Amino acid sequence: MRILHTSDWHIGRTFHGNSTMDALAEVFGALIAQVRELSVTENPVDVVVVAGDVFDSATPAGPAYTLLGDTLAALHDTGAKVIVTSGNHDSAARLGFQARLLRDGIHMMTDPLSIGEPVTIDDADGPVHFYGIPYLEPAIMRQYWAESFEGGVTLRTQAQTMAHAMSLVRASMASREGRSVAIAHCFAAGVDATAGLEREVRQGGLDVVPLSVFDGPDYVALGHIHGRQTLSERVRYAGAPLHYSFGEQHKERGSWLIDLDAPGFSSAEWLALPVPRRLVTLTGTLDEILSDDNIAAHADDWVCAVYTDVLPQAEPMRRLKEQFPHCAMVQHAPVGGAERVERSYAARLESAVTDTEHIEAFLEHVRAGQGPSERESELIREVLDERVVAEALV
């Protein structure tokens, strides 16, 4: 059996205030084309798995539903079955509601109480059981699984909750012949998350799920992390099909093409997806960033500009957008600023004695540690001297 593993579509997410719907539609078109091209070969894609975070919010706008429906229908028209689970961004209830409206061969697995009930799909080597595990919130799940825990043990962490879910999967596997695939949306041990992107609701790492929890199935398709990662040969993240932050700019976009033979996992191949608009971070002084070479190379890219001028520049975003129409982010990071000893404004004022030192303390505070220039010091002295003369004449 051949399985295409994708995840984290986040339909409806914006990129620094810009819609991603057109870009995502382009990427979905490429993904559908890949499945369609394989459908006429000796090894077509039998099942497309979407491992959670289909939408970016629990209440997506109408166009998000349209894009999802069109994409699922097009994938199904290639001859492949489609299995979708919900993630922490989705509303499991809303995704689940669509299940009854979808055509045969498209499965929405969003009910946590049905984790032990797989979707079974047969191939020449026999049945393959697909176990969909939606995103599980411990506080919600403990009311459903309370009787499963005795002696005062409760579900408090993602690790405990996922471990119980996988125990239900293994119990079901034991009662059935054939191979199995688990689909889950969580933060597994050993992953490298994109800082500031994968929202980790955790304290002290309590929601990190140990890799051993996923023992049993022939393949585990994970979602939640936006970059592809291989935790073991049979446990993988596919990542998101589109770049959703500058922190992801160097991470490839695509999906895993998984082959199961009669004994189980056989191989994995990465299928890359196109990037509609590249992301680039340009660092240097503002003049260096606005050089002719940069403009020629990156005028059509999403740009994050990190300018290193000692002083903040006037209207940097306006100047950047004149040359980089898709400049989405600008940051001021003065050279050596991070190396300076940081003190609070109150501490600077406390150590200041003269009026000159008070002004210098203020300038250091608003300029990330950079005090007045030599010319500015002269001007400060002139103004203060004029004030002293004026006060003496009163």
- Taking the C-alpha atoms of residue 158 and residue 344, their distance in angstroms, rounded to an integer, is 39
What's the pLDDT tens digit per position in 378-388?
Answer: 888 888 777 76
What's the pLDDT tens digit per position in 37-72?
Answer: 999 999 999 999 999 999 998 888 889 999 999 999
What's the pLDDT tens digit per position in 308-329?
Answer: 998 899 999 999 999 999 999 9
pTM: 0.81
In the predicted model, is pLDDT for residue 196 greater than 70? Answer: no
**Which amino acid, one-letter code, is at 335?**
V
pLDDT band at 205 (very low <50, low <70, confident <90, very high): very low
In the predicted model, is pLDDT for residue 35 greater than 50? Answer: yes
CB 128 within 8 A of CB 122: yes
In the predicted model, is pLDDT for residue 188 greater than 50? Answer: yes
Q: What is the CA radius of gyration of the chain?
A: 28
The pLDDT of residue 87 is 87
The pLDDT of residue 175 is 95
Output the DSSP codes for 249-306: TTS--EEEEEEE-SSSEEEEEEEE---SS-EEEEEE-HHHHT-HHHHHHHTTSEEEEE
Burial class (CB in 10 A: 0-12, 13-18, 19+), 367: middle
The pLDDT of residue 99 is 53
**Which amino acid, one-letter code, is at 177?**
E
In the predicted model, is pLDDT for residue 339 greater than 50? Answer: no
Mean pLDDT of 208-236: 95
What's the pLDDT tens digit per position in 20-34?
Answer: 999 999 999 999 999
In the predicted model, is pLDDT for residue 392 greater than 90? Answer: no
Most confident range, picked from 83-97, 140-154, 164-178: 164-178
- Taking the C-alpha atoms of residue 162 and residue 169, their distance in angstroms, rounded to an integer, is 10
**Which amino acid, one-letter code, is at 346?**
A
Sign (positive or negative) of CA dihedral 77, 80, 85, 86: negative
- Taking the C-alpha atoms of residue 136 and residue 154, their distance in angstroms, rounded to an integer, is 14
